[in-house]
Amino acid sequence: MTLEKTPHRDPDHLKLNVYPEEKSRMSFDESTILKCDACYSTEITETKEGYVCRSCGVVLEIQKYVYNRPYNANIIQHARLGITQIGTVKERVINENSIHLNNLNKLHSIQSNENAVLDQAKIELSRIFNCLNLPSTMKDIVLEKFRKIRACLKPGTKYRSPEKLIPIAIYHVFKFRNISISEAELLEVSKIAKKDFNAFKLQIRTFFPQYKERDRKKYILQKVLEITEYFETDMPFYYLSKKILYKLWDHIKNTKDNVIAGLVASISALCLCKDKISVSSICDKLDIKMSTIQSQVKKKIFKQFKVPGFTTLVRSSEALKKIIKKMGLLEHDDQLKFYNQTKSPGINEILIEKDLE
């Protein structure tokens, strides 16, 4: 095929069928005339396949140049964008790793410091709850206490960190609501050192005034109940521990809750079932030392009631049993005898009985 340039005199020489959806642009100006290679006719029309001669139907070899931007493409966004879209379509297509787009992305992801801390606290809270299998219904209560305590702390304090403050909030909220929680297990899965944890416990009343009004006896009895269920003992073990707790409360209340629970449970075990439950196993369950219980028994019972002859817990168990009897806590020894065959009732039965009292 040849191209001949002739003056454009008659507009009918070039009649092209233009399709609106496929509007094309030719590679020559308006004065260029197309001529068929076979019949040399100038009646050339434009189709989807290319340029075709009207006379003989031959498709011309010359290529049809189509504008590379289709008309049905997405409209470029000129309006103000929402928070879920960054940049225009053109900006995102031109360069996915552009500096401008990265800056827009950073600006889009910026949030206030308090919101960022709250998100971190929620993540840490869920992690600890999943590790310790704690009730999820307490999450919102702990999170609210975390926010209140953190608001009272001065900026720059290390305890404002969610990794340090969340375990503290969990521990004290659970104890305030008389829900048993193991401090050792909590520290094992937390990111706070035991030294920092114990240091904040001394000042918790400043940030949690209601904590000093909690019912410590109820929480300690919950610990004793756990020991009763864990070792599958009879309920006389629990009831004797309860009597000892209320009887000696004024003498033993100035120590940790776990130590008090271990003290009353160890005395009950030595009086009722020392052949089945050892004091060391109770101490391991409560994560306390046996020497602590032995020291408490010596000071709070033998020295308090001026009974000489204390050596060790096991060797002095008979003397300890006599003291408990004189206190009126073992009036009917035969009825309080430990039966291995009896299965301890569930927690619901104990709560019902306490309500009846």
167-204 pLDDT, tens digit each: 999 999 999 998 989 999 999 999 999 999 999 988 88
pLDDT of residue 15: 40
Position 147 confidence tier, pLDDT thresholds 50, 70, 90: very high
Give per-residue pLDDT as tens, 219-263. 999 999 999 999 888 888 999 999 999 999 999 999 999 999 999
265, 242 Cβ separation under 8 angstroms: no
pLDDT of residue 133: 92
Q: Which residues contact 64 (CB under 8 A, 6 or more apart)?
A: 24, 26, 46, 50, 51
> In this structure, what is the dihedral angle of CA atoms 34, 40, 45, 47, given to the nearest 10 degrees?
-100
Position 305 confidence tier, pLDDT thresholds 50, 70, 90: confident
DSSP-derived 3-state class of residue 130: helix
Between residues 146 and 351, the one the model is more confident about: 146
Kindly report the number of other CB atoms within 10 A of residue 70's CB atom.
10
Quote the percentage of the chain above a pLDDT of 90.
38
pLDDT of residue 106: 76
Distances (CA, A) of 324 to 123, 175, 320: 50, 29, 6
Between residues 351 and 135, the one the model is more confident about: 135
Residue whose C-alpha is closest to residue 340's, from 227, 234, 266? 234
pLDDT of residue 199: 92
Give per-residue pLDDT as tens, 45-100. 888 777 888 888 888 877 666 555 554 555 555 555 555 555 666 665 566 566 77
Distances (CA, A) of 101 to 90, 182, 246: 11, 50, 69
Q: How far is C-alpha 200 from the chain's CA centre?
A: 22
Between residues 31 and 321, the one the model is more confident about: 321
Examine the pLDDT at 211 and tell me if it is beyond 70: yes
pLDDT of residue 73: 53
4, 37 Cβ separation under 8 angstroms: no
Q: Where are the beta strands (DSSP E) in the chain?
A: 4-5, 32-33, 44-46, 51-53
- Lookup: tokens for 151: 């608001």
Mean pLDDT of the chain: 78
Distances (CA, A) of 135 to 128, 142, 174, 210, 221: 11, 11, 10, 22, 20
> In this structure, what is the dihedral angle of CA atoms 28, 30, 31, 37, given to the nearest 10 degrees?
60
46 has which bridge partners? 51
pLDDT of residue 314: 85
Q: Which residues contact 198 (CB under 8 A, 6 or more apart)?
A: none
Q: Please report, in angstroms and rounded to a whole number, the separation of the first and last CA atoms in the chain.
A: 112
Examine the pLDDT at 42 and tell me if it is beyond 80: yes
Tell me how far apart the alpha carbons of residues 178 and 80 are, in angstroms, rounded to a whole number: 54
Is the pTM for the entire model greater than 0.85?
Answer: no
pLDDT of residue 10: 45
Quote the percentage of the chain above a pLDDT of 70.
73
pLDDT of residue 96: 59
- The CATH class for the domain spanning 114-213 reads mainly alpha
